[in-house]
Structure 1
Amino acid sequence: MRKIKRFLSALLCGVILITGTLAGVSVRTDAAASSYAVQLRAAGFPDSYIRALSALHTAYPQWQFQAVKTGLDWNTVVSKESVNGVNLVPKTGNDATKSTADGAYDWTTNVWTVYDGSSWVGADADYIAYYLDPRNFLNETDIFQFESLSFSKVQTRQGVSSILKGTFMENMVEDSDGSELDYAQAFMDIGEETGVSPYHLASRVRQEQGLKGTSSLISGTYSGYEGYYNYFNVGAAGITSTLVIKNGLAYAKKAGWNTRYAALEGGAKILAKNYIGVGQDTLYFQKFNVVNQKNLYSHQYMANLAAAYNEGRKLGQGYADKQQAFVFRIPVYSGMPASAVTFTASGNPNNYLKSLSVTGQTLTPVFRGDTTSYSLVVDSKVSSVTISASPVAAKSSVTGTGTKKLQTGTNTCKVTCKSESGASKTYTLTIVKKAGAAAETEKTSVTSKTYQLKNKMVTGIAPGTKAATFLKKLKVTAGTVKLFSASKKSVTGIVSTGNVLQVYDSKNKKVSSYTLVIYGDVNGDGKINKTDLNRLNRHLNGTQKLTGCYLKAADTNRKKDGVNVLDLVYLNKHLQGKITIQQ
């Protein structure tokens, strides 16, 4: 019987290598072909596959590649495989790899829904797309997830031993029936019997049970299920670790897997019948069912998103000599991106606030992390408020908090939470400060300890004074001030004769104005120089009269006897450095 199965397995392999399967077309690595790239395109591979496959062909001319034309739309496949709970990643992994879809993640608590055991959560859709895209794995290390999993004579006991090295299956153990179990030989025998690659069987058990093999599923000592084993974790599912173990061992007990060998053989037969036998004959197709039309996107052997990738690498390591006629069945989808999907693990994406408050005040509405606009009204006596906030995720940062001064009327404060991945969410607080009776009746005024404000003029200003310095030395009560030039432009440089100080009340209504006078700055450029001397001279000889603030600035000796030749002499002595015009 075993010889018949061996013959059928070899015959099946021969058919696949020569003609391909119903879903794929084989590419012969015929050295006589004028262009291998032409062959690949003829077989159905898009241009974005050609370069990598051609490089593999150059290195391994006996390798054969089949384009499995799924007929499925790429975006549809990604969407279906991204349904909550279908593909899982470790809870301890980079947060960017985890799904934040509704039901899979709570933004307000930074908690992911656990779908299997105690540590497996939903995978991010972009991360799923990365693993779905075959073009990311067309290299000599990762391509074995696409290898046909049928038994082949190129597979050896030595290759199985290489896969098992460093694991609990490396050495012989005593089986529960008293016989000696050589794992490597067992996988070879079972592989030949079932028509399944022994490398695949060894890699699968290694993936399921880990290096140490400490799971209760294969201990044979679990209470209520003593003497039963489940190496392939068949039926082992549940929301808790205990439930996973009990369900898996209940399956083993029902199946009669009361020896280690029986559990290995039974699991292999399920793989052969339920997966390889229905077209899911690669690790990739067992992970992503895009070929079994009756159960598309379900009937997937493993939920671990990286399982095919990890097992494929171990599978390839089992081959000491890779210069053999391997067959790789590689899926092709319609509507694929022009180039391979990329993914960057950028960290936690949560940019929600856990708390937001204003000391002594009440926000409207009540704070929620997913609500970004709030308002509050404070009394006219409140001069400032203190805003506090904390992020949901520990690695997020918050800006915009602290003490904020308030003006009467509407004040807008913004608090921003930036996630570890760089995404920002801004929360806006609109704070309205009431205008109290005292504030409404308080008179707007401007005073200064440095300058003299009298008769609608400002004097006492040193030549060369900058506008910012000038304004800083003014005390404004119940209002604001602005400085303009004679041409009504805002002054930002040095102040000069003729500049106008406009005074506004708390409602931004103009209530008064003052004209600046710098004695000696006759022409209004903020400096005292020969230009001013000439301008004063033209006034005195009657060719160009001075008026207003400029006439006042010409009274350089400050004797209040009118502008005359003595002021001209005084200005000239100032320029000679003999005296200084007093402001």
Structure 2
Amino acid sequence: MIKKMISYILSFAIAASMAASCLTASAAKMTGSCTADVLNVRSGAGTGYSKTGTVSYGDSLTILSETTDSSGAKWYKISCGNVTGYVSAAYVQLTSSGSQGSSDADFESYMTKQGFPESYKPYLRKLHEQHPKWIFTAQKLGVDWNTALKEECVVGRNLVHSSALASWKSMEKGAYDFNGGYWYGLDGSWVAASKEIIMYYMDPRNFLNDTYIFMFENQSYDPSYQTESGVKTILADTFMSGSYTCPDTKKKYTYSQTFMDAAKKSGVSPYHLASRCRNEQGVNGAPQSLGTVKGYENYFNFFDIQAYATSTMTAAEMGCKYAKTTNPTYLLPWTNQYKSIVGGSIFLGTGYITKGQDTLYLQKFDMVDGGNGLYYHQYMTCVFGQANEAISLKNAYSQDILNSAMEFKIPVYNNMPDKLCPKPTSSGDNNNYLKSLSVSGTSISPKFDKFTASYTAKVNAEVSSVTVNANPLGKSAKVSGKGKVSLKTGENTVKVTCTAASGVKRTYTIKITRKAASQTLQQGDVNGDKYLTVVDALLMLRYNAGKTQLDSAQLKRADMNGDGKVDVIDALTLLKKISQS
């Protein structure tokens, strides 16, 4: 026993000695999310250690412990799927401390009365436990989930960066060049988002934590807690952290006060305005916010209104082209920073907030009809833009504000999936198209096209089976459902599924109709099975030999030469006919 104790103490001492180079504090049960587009996971706390993998923006991280490197910078040891290792804490947004508490009976009743589906409730319980004063309102959109998803998958309505995972990028018609093997650039270096990543960001349940919940916060101006100091926090590390001098009026302003003026005049939250400009223009500013767009010098567009790329103009040029127009309501033309920020805020307020699109989520996904229909009136095309801005919003709030009675309007669709829509993580592409599809012995209609999923085919009554041939277009894709298929009389449905390298599936359907046999029995069909076979000839021979009986109808069909009797000649005549058919 003493030897075992000594061995244990020695082992503990060795382990402690190995960990002496870094201070480690337990962070068990902590969770967080990645705030970088792609973040390296390393074998140790520091950039000098080897990579063990990567995590992407928005990935949920389980924080196992925290430590510091040789310079004193904080690192987290995390796990995410199959990846475990260390990441810089600067790129991790903590989302919870993992505390668990008992349910509030009144809150349970409130959720039910609000009409929150059961799949929402576990996340709302946790949020209520962490922030008991927060108010969660079920915003019943009255919109069918599948209809909305189909609309959001229209190419160009949602974009991701061209450097994103292949599983995040659409391969629908108009999004990808199958001959050239590249994605079409739809707005500079952006491409069409895949259905799977759109589903992930559309599903409100994926963002019911104390960081991303801010995409559901009402964005109207509330001076009771929205302050200039909060705006300064949002702008602290950006080109908007200080002051500027208008190039035309020579007046000097601070950006923080400009956003407060914009909030008062537009009725929009200054936190929302500041974080939106930060996301649109970046920390160092873009040409359209610095007044340096060639040909449009000293014209500004901080909110990137009407800033989209065309075949002849860049997005920045288009944005400044709009900034050069005249409209007193929006203080156009925007010949200085102040007019662009305040005028753009008024545009945002009258164009979105007053149209019912008063949350970041609804400005990204237009699911309310404020007089301009559904799906089309969307402020941003980046599929995760609202998630980016939610982080900035939370970071702007003091703890006192976070402890107050804040309201969040959480969308609820009709016919939502029972389970959360997962985030695509595969590096494989979404090429789940077939290269060819055919049915042996017949043709399919319409003519095969990889984008067409439904076909029909017809075969005669005597065809009892066919072979379905199918080949994938993608090199790593796999096909199931092809091969020999038995057919019944009438309609037969054959489904061929192509699975892409990323795991997403596309199903092609062929409805094969097998004609019914003629109702009038033909000459020679002794047994009445609607087919001429050797069995019928054998029945003729057995009858002739006195070994079986035939009724009058059978005798009539068996008399092949019409001489009034059934004999060997009739059997031989039938066999000859069968051999010639």
1:323 to 399, 403, 424: 403
1:309 — aligned with what?
387
Aligned partners of 2:146, 2:410: CA distance in 1, in Å? 18
Aligned partners of 2:373, 2:183: CA distance in 1, in Å? 28
2:221 — aligned with what?
151
- SS of 1:100's partner is coil
2:352–2:363 Cα contact (<8 Å) kept? yes
1:190 to 248, 254, 262: 262
1:225 to 285, 290, 296: 296
Name the amino acid aligned to 1:302. Answer: M
2:115 to 41, 44, 48: 44
Aligned partners of 1:95, 1:297: CA distance in 2, in Å? 25
- SS of 1:167's partner is coil
How far residue 348 of structure 1 moved from its aligned partner, in angstroms, is: 2.8
Change (3 A) 1:127 1:352: closer
Aligned partners of 1:92, 1:340: CA distance in 2, in Å? 26
Is 1:273 aligned to residue 350 of structure 2? Answer: yes
How far residue 112 of structure 1 moved from its aligned partner, in angstroms, is: 1.0
Counting only pairs closer than 5 Å after superposition, residues 309-458 of structure 1 correspond to structure 2 as: 309-321=387-399, 322-349=402-429, 421=502
Matched residue count: 342
How far residue 55 of structure 1 moved from its aligned partner, in angstroms, is: 1.4
Please give the per-residue CA displacement for 1:254-299, whole angstroms capped at 9, x wherever unaligned. 1221110010001000111010001000000000000125320011
How far residue 305 of structure 1 moved from its aligned partner, in angstroms, is: 0.4
1:99–1:125 Cα contact (<8 Å) kept? yes
2:138–2:411 Cα contact (<8 Å) kept? yes
Change (3 A) 1:419 1:84: closer
2:171–2:430 Cα contact (<8 Å) kept? no
RMSD: 3.1
Change (3 A) 1:424 1:145: closer
Is 1:237 aligned to residue 345 of structure 2? Answer: no
TM-score in terms of structure 2 length: 0.55
How far residue 105 of structure 1 moved from its aligned partner, in angstroms, is: 1.3
Please give the per-residue CA displacement for 1:205-228, whole angstroms capped at 9, x wherever unaligned. 011101110x22122243432321
How far residue 171 of structure 1 moved from its aligned partner, in angstroms, is: 1.8
Identity between Structure 1 and Structure 2 (%): 40
Name the amino acid aligned to 1:347. Answer: S
Aligned partners of 2:103, 2:197: CA distance in 1, in Å? 41
How far residue 237 of structure 1 moved from its aligned partner, in angstroms, is: 1.2
2:191 — aligned with what?
121
2:430–2:503 Cα contact (<8 Å) kept? no
2:216–2:409 Cα contact (<8 Å) kept? yes
Name the amino acid aligned to 1:195. Answer: G
4+ aligned runs moved over 6 Å, structure 1: 350-353, 396-399, 422-425
Aligned partners of 1:58, 1:68: CA distance in 2, in Å? 21
2:280 — aligned with what?
208
Name the amino acid aligned to 1:304. Answer: C
Q: Which structure 2 residue ranges, 5 or more long, are not aligned? A: 1-101, 326-331, 436-448, 452-471, 479-497, 507-581
Aligned partners of 2:116, 2:500: CA distance in 1, in Å? 40
1:134 — aligned with what?
204
TM-score in terms of structure 1 length: 0.55
How far residue 180 of structure 1 moved from its aligned partner, in angstroms, is: 1.9
2:477–2:501 Cα contact (<8 Å) kept? no
Aligned partners of 1:170, 1:226: CA distance in 2, in Å? 22
How far residue 98 of structure 1 moved from its aligned partner, in angstroms, is: 0.5
1:75 — aligned with what?
146
Aligned partners of 2:229, 2:243: CA distance in 1, in Å? 15
1:351–1:419 Cα contact (<8 Å) kept? yes
1:160–1:199 Cα contact (<8 Å) kept? yes
Aligned partners of 1:259, 1:424: CA distance in 2, in Å? 51
Name the amino acid aligned to 2:214. Answer: F
1:299 — aligned with what?
377
- SS of 2:410's partner is strand
2:251 — aligned with what?
179
1:161 — aligned with what?
232
Change (3 A) 1:40 1:182: same
1:287–1:307 Cα contact (<8 Å) kept? yes
1:84–1:122 Cα contact (<8 Å) kept? yes
Aligned partners of 2:231, 2:477: CA distance in 1, in Å? 54
Aligned partners of 1:80, 1:171: CA distance in 2, in Å? 42
Aligned partners of 2:312, 2:207: CA distance in 1, in Å? 32
Change (3 A) 1:241 1:47: farther
Name the amino acid aligned to 2:289. Answer: I
1:89 — aligned with what?
160
- SS of 1:251's partner is helix
2:201–2:383 Cα contact (<8 Å) kept? yes
Aligned partners of 2:301, 2:127: CA distance in 1, in Å? 37
Please give the per-residue CA displacement for 1:115-155, whole angstroms capped at 9, x wherever unaligned. 11x21111101110110000000000110000000111211
How far residue 249 of structure 1 moved from its aligned partner, in angstroms, is: 0.9
- SS of 1:211's partner is coil
Aligned partners of 1:56, 1:422: CA distance in 2, in Å? 33
How far residue 33 of structure 1 moved from its aligned partner, in angstroms, is: 7.8
- SS of 1:160's partner is helix
2:365 — aligned with what?
288
1:154–1:324 Cα contact (<8 Å) kept? no
Change (3 A) 1:422 1:108: farther
2:337 — aligned with what?
260
1:107–1:350 Cα contact (<8 Å) kept? no
Name the amino acid aligned to 2:191. Answer: V
Is 1:250 aligned to residue 314 of structure 2? Answer: no
Change (3 A) 1:38 1:233: same
Aligned partners of 1:105, 1:226: CA distance in 2, in Å? 35
Change (3 A) 1:179 1:79: same
Aligned partners of 2:477, 2:159: CA distance in 1, in Å? 31
Please give the per-residue CA displacement for 1:28-73, whole angstroms capped at 9, x wherever unaligned. xxx9984211111101211111121121112112211111111111
Change (3 A) 1:48 1:333: same
1:108–1:392 Cα contact (<8 Å) kept? no
Aligned partners of 2:133, 2:319: CA distance in 1, in Å? 41
Change (3 A) 1:93 1:240: farther
How far residue 195 of structure 1 moved from its aligned partner, in angstroms, is: 1.3
How far residue 189 of structure 1 moved from its aligned partner, in angstroms, is: 2.1
Aligned partners of 1:397, 1:140: CA distance in 2, in Å? 40
1:460 — aligned with what?
none
Aligned partners of 2:397, 2:219: CA distance in 1, in Å? 14
Aligned partners of 1:70, 1:261: CA distance in 2, in Å? 36
- SS of 2:138's partner is strand
* Structure whose alpha-carbon radius of gyration is higher: 1
How far residue 250 of structure 1 moved from its aligned partner, in angstroms, is: 1.6
Name the amino acid aligned to 1:206. Answer: R
Name the amino acid aligned to 2:291. Answer: G
2:169–2:194 Cα contact (<8 Å) kept? yes
